[in-house]
Structure 1
Amino acid sequence: MKRFADRLREARVAAGMTQEQLGFALGITKSSVSAWENGRETPSFRMLPELRRHLGRSLDELICGVAPGDGRIGDEPLTYAAGEASPVARNEKERALLLRYRTLPAKRRAALLDLIRPAD
């Protein structure tokens, strides 16, 4: 499965941007973009919505490797329980994340969903 750094580089190239252009659009240096693409550093959480906007990719695609409508996470297909319309958590970390999401107030759930919404 590809790493975030590889997906980021592919998205930048597909958007027709150089590291310098992406850095300028984000208000950071070319070397920061290079560090992300080489896996030495990762962007801050606050930088993710801007990456989504400038690269035209969803955060699911950039972070997890899930293309819209793909039904896969990286190389693994999403699994559904019989009669369920949503994916089933595959491990304890995913269960914990789902439980945590369900405890969020409605306003924060909406903000989180907006953050991971595919780019227009």
Structure 2
Amino acid sequence: MAGFPERLKAARTGLGLTQEQLAFELNVTKASISAWENGREGLGFRLLPAIRRVLGVSLDSLICGEGGKTEPAASAPEKLTTRNEAEAELLRAFRRLPARRRKALLEMID
């Protein structure tokens, strides 16, 4: 059974976020994210609301492994392929953006 570190990493990678991007969104260091995901450190309660918001997962799911996702954005990403290098570069650039900027870009496109 997966513990908190594995569930945190799965939620982050499921959104295509790097440790650095998640750290930026939570105003912590990349080293903190790495330590949480590797079980070297625990995370403080004050960050739980922000983690829930950024990753779009319920706290029950993240902490206890119970329940489901709270937002559709946290569901497993659809498997897509790029047609050319320009599309691939666009996707790489999109994934490097912080989560809130990705959301704003998608809203602008709609």
**Class of the TM-score when normalised by the shorter of the 2 chains:** 0.5 to 0.7
After the TM superposition, list the runs of 4 or more consecutive aligned residues in structure 1 that deviate by more than 4 angstroms: none
Q: Name the count of aligned residue pairs.
A: 72
Q: Which has the higher contact order (CA 8 A, sep 6+)?
A: 2
1:113: which partner in 2? none
Query: CA 1:119–1:45 in structure 2 vs 1: closer, same or farther (change >3 Å)?
Result: farther
Q: Does 1:9 align with 2:20?
A: no
Q: Which runs of 5+ in 2 are unaligned?
A: 73-110
- Residue of structure 2 in register with 1:34 after alignment: 34
Identity of aligned residues (%): 56
Q: CA RMSD in A?
A: 1.6
Conservation of the 8 A alpha-carbon contact between 1:53 and 1:119: no
**Correspondence 1:1-120 to 2 at 5 A:** 1-68=1-68, 118-119=70-71
Give the structure with the higher percent helix. 2
**Which runs of 5 or more residues in structure 1 are unaligned?**
70-117
Deviation at 1:16, TM superposition (A): 1.1
Distance 2:6 2:67 in 1: 15
TM-score, normalised on structure 2? 0.61
- Matched position secondary structure for 2:16: coil
Q: Distance in 2 between matches of 1:12 and 1:67?
A: 17
Q: Whole-Å Cα distance in 2 between the matches of residues 41 and 119 of structure 1?
A: 27
* TM-score, normalised via structure 1 length: 0.56
